[in-house]
Amino acid sequence: MEEEKSLVLIVDDEPATRDHLRELLEREGFRVTEAADGNAAMAAVRDHSPDLVLLDVVMPGLSGLEVCRLLKANQGQRFLPVILLTAKNDLESRVQGLRLGADDYLSKPANPRELLARMEALLRIKKLQDRINQNQKRLEDQAIADPATGLFNARYLTQRLHDEFARAERYKEPLSCLAVSLDNAAELGRQAGAEGLEAVVHEVAQILEQGVREFDILTRPEADRFVLILPRTHFTGSLSVASRILARLQAHAFTAGGKVVTPGFSLGVAFYPNKDVNSAEVLLSQLEDALRQARQAGGRQICLYQHTTYFYRPESGR
């Protein structure tokens, strides 16, 4: 598959200059987009994500130097090369532009061979930087993802619950956590093997993903456990979510290795505000306690952690 050509943004208030540069770059195989002033340049960067910017310094309104400052201040980890086009004797603009983050400069009118050589050098650096960013992103994703399901892992659960608890405290909003345990994972593994158990886990993950809202956070911190963070969800709302999930899990026909299997599930729920909860760690501890008690009571039920433990079986309404 042929690599897509780099997109260059030409920013200049003179149509003749833009036409000349466009003709040169398109002849060399570059894709080109244009802007006639600073504000249009900022919009073009936002809308088209160019790979390199050729930026005239002297323009009415937002100057090229100001555009350069804004682009470099907002580029984040993404490297966007900027070449300033200045008047032959405008040393002050060159120095100021380089201090603002410009990557190179050329005097107008630029020599075509020199311009292309400098562009190609910067685009090589950009490709290398993009590759580094992609590798870093992949490593970061792997650090917080469960490799089997692609869901967030225990590390992410701890980090995100801490953030959500701090937000709930600050804005005085409710926060609930819901844990789902695959109670008979070991038995399923013996019946259907490791691949069969993995297939069941994937089906459970899909059912849970279908039953949550956009801003809920689904994680798999342990092999036989899933945890949902439910922002802005109070006691009754968390019970409603737990009941719906348990009903769907129990109604689903699971198969593993070509055999029909019957996974057992227990659910635990803990919530904030609660007079005993003053941190994310305490909330998570109460969630673990609720789940443990649901399993010890025989499973196939929901345990809500309150001042006195409360069990709920959807089919009986108790």
Q: Given a cut of 70, is residue 316 above it in pLDDT?
A: no
Most confident of 38-42, 141-145, 296-300: 38-42
Q: Which of 24, 101, 88, 33 is nearest to 58 (CA)?
A: 88
What pLDDT digit, counting tens, does each position of 55-82 carry?
Answer: 999 888 899 999 999 999 887 768 999 9
Q: Given a cut of 60, is residue 307 above it in pLDDT?
A: no
Average pLDDT of every residue of the chain: 88
* pLDDT recorded at residue 94: 75
292, burial (CB in 10 Å: exposed 0-12, middle 13-18, buried 19+)? middle
* pLDDT recorded at residue 263: 93
What pLDDT digit, counting tens, does each position of 160-201 carry?
Answer: 999 999 999 999 999 999 999 999 988 888 888 888 889 999
Q: Where do you find CATH 3.40.50.2300 in the chain?
A: 7-141
Q: Residue 1: pLDDT band by 50, 70, 90 thresholds?
A: very low
What pLDDT digit, counting tens, does each position of 94-139 carry?
Answer: 788 788 888 998 988 889 999 999 999 999 999 999 888 888 877 7
What's the pTM?
0.62
Q: Given a cut of 90, is residue 207 above it in pLDDT?
A: yes
Domain 154-312: give its CATH code: 3.30.70.270
Q: Where do you find CATH 3.30.70.270 in the chain?
A: 154-312
Q: Given a cut of 80, is residue 22 above it in pLDDT?
A: yes
The residues, any chain, with a CB within 8 Å of residue 129's CB and separated by 6 or more, are 79
* pLDDT recorded at residue 46: 92
Average pLDDT on 212-236 reads 93
**Whole-number Cα distances in Å, 121 to 79, 125, 134:** 14, 7, 20
Average pLDDT on 237-266 reads 90
Average pLDDT on 202-228 reads 93
* pLDDT recorded at residue 7: 95
Homologous superfamily of domain range 7-141: Response regulator (3.40.50.2300)
**Whole-number Cα distances in Å, 150 to 142, 145, 219, 251, 254:** 9, 6, 9, 24, 20
Q: Residue 9: pLDDT band by 50, 70, 90 thresholds?
A: very high
Q: Residue 318: pLDDT band by 50, 70, 90 thresholds?
A: very low
Cα distance between residue 74 and residue 76, in whole Å? 6
Q: Residue 245: pLDDT band by 50, 70, 90 thresholds?
A: very high
Q: Which of 313, 272, 271 is nearest to 290 (CA)?
A: 271
Q: Residue 312: pLDDT band by 50, 70, 90 thresholds?
A: low
Q: Given a cut of 60, is residue 239 above it in pLDDT?
A: yes
Structure tokens that stand for 210 in this block: 């279908």
* pLDDT recorded at residue 175: 96
71, burial (CB in 10 Å: exposed 0-12, middle 13-18, buried 19+)? buried
The residues, any chain, with a CB within 8 Å of residue 121's CB and separated by 6 or more, are none
* pLDDT recorded at residue 50: 95
Q: Above pLDDT 90, what percent of the chain?
A: 61
